[in-house]
Amino acid sequence: MSTHTSPRRSLILGFSLLLLITVAFGLHRAISSTENSTLAIAKIIDAPIDIPTPQAMGTQTIVLAGGCFWGTEAVFEQLKGVSSVVSGFSGGSAATAHYDTVSDGNTGHAEAIQITYDPQQISFGQLLKIYFFVAHDPTQVNRQSPDNGTQYRSTIFFANSEQQKVSQAYIDKLNQAQIFPQPIATQLVALTKFYPAEDYHQNFIDRNPNYPYVVIHDRPKIERLRQQFPNLVRG
- pLDDT for res 180: 93
pLDDT one-digit tens code per residue, 69-90 = 999 999 999 999 999 999 999 9
Do 203 and 211 contact (CB within 8 A), yes or no?
A: no
pTM of the model: 0.82
Q: What is the mean pLDDT of the chain?
A: 84
Q: Is 69 exposed, middle or buried (0-12, 13-18, 19+ CB in 10 A)?
A: buried
136 three-class SS = coil
Closest CA to 22 of 34, 1, 8: 8
| Burial state string for 76-92 with b = 16 or more CB within 10 A and e = fewer than 16 | bbbbebbeebbbbbbbb
- Confidence band for 235, pLDDT divided at 50, 70 and 90: confident
Do 187 and 141 contact (CB within 8 A), yes or no?
A: no
Do 90 and 159 contact (CB within 8 A), yes or no?
A: no
d(CA 207, CA 84): 16
Mean pLDDT value of segment 57-67: 93
Mean pLDDT value of segment 112-132: 94
- Confidence band for 37, pLDDT divided at 50, 70 and 90: low
* DSSP label of 43: H
Q: Looking at the annotation, which residues are catalytic?
A: 68
